[in-house]
Amino acid sequence: MEDINIKSIRYPVAVDEKLEKLRLKFGRTKRQFFMQMVDYFYKSKKDPADLNDEILKKEVANGISRIISFIQRQESDFLLPTLTDLGKLITVANAHTKYFEALGQYAVSDDKQTKQIFVRFTTLDNAIAKTQNHLESKTRLKDQFSNILEHYIIHRESLGWPVSNAKKEELQKHIRQSLENI
């Protein structure tokens, strides 16, 4: 079997001391730590010379820019139409509020007018009842007067006054007609 570990790297003693400290800190062999370090830089595509992670900062800034543009797009697509519609709804709600206030005022006014009409109808009903009583009283008076008249006519006939029958009939007819006109 062929040995795959044929490569070697030469580096200064100061770097070896740092590598030894890191190896001890993470509990690995130098070879294992070095291979993992190479894998890390290969996968993360970081530049080991870039101590301040400028590439990472640029990628984060690009990510933030993409997020901000996404939020702005969502705002223009959804939030602004919603706010516009909300403004329209508020306008309609204000118009409805004014309409309902006017309806409330109309209801109060209508209630007052209804009460006034009720009072007038009560007064009218009382006047009609009073008129009805007067009519009934008038009818009773006519009946009583008619009885008195008939009694007078009968008794006058029995007294035998010398008046012609035609004049008697004319007088009786005139009296009865006058009685009806009362």
Give domain status of residue 146, yes or no. yes
Q: What was the pLDDT predicted at 1?
A: 62
Q: With respect to residue 29, please indicate whether it lies within any of the assigned structural domains.
A: no
C-alpha 53/C-alpha 43 separation (Å) is: 15
Least confident window among 12-21, 112-121, 161-170 = 161-170
Which region, left, alpha or beta, applies to residue 53 given φ > 0 means left and ψ of -120 to 50 means alpha?
left
Please tell me the predicted confidence (pLDDT) of residue 69. Answer: 94
pLDDT value at 159 more than 70: no
Lowest average pLDDT, out of 71-75, 100-104, 116-120, 168-172, goes to: 168-172
Q: What is the mean pLDDT of the chain?
A: 87
Summarize the confidence of residues 155-170 as an average pLDDT: 71
Q: Quick one: pLDDT at residue 48?
A: 79
- Could you tell me which residues come within 8 angstroms of residue 56 by beta carbon, excluding any fewer than 6 positions away? 46
Judge whether 106 lies within some domain. Answer: no
Number of folded domains that form the chain: 1
**Residue 148 within any structural domain of the chain:** yes
CA dist 76 and 81 (Å) reads: 7
Domain coverage including residue 139: 120-181
1-10, 65-74, 107-116, 120-129 — which is least confidently predicted?
1-10
34 in any annotated domain: no
Mean pLDDT computed over 89-118: 94
Residue corresponding to tokens 């409805």 = 96
Q: Which sign, positive or negative, has the C-alpha torsion 49, 52, 54, 59?
A: positive
- Whether 124 maps to a domain, the answer reads yes
pLDDT at 173 (0 to 100): 83
pTM, two decimal places: 0.39
Three-class secondary structure of residue 75 per DSSP = helix
Q: How many residues are recorded in the chain?
A: 182
Residue 132 lies in a domain: yes
Helices (H), 29-164: 30-44, 54-74, 80-159
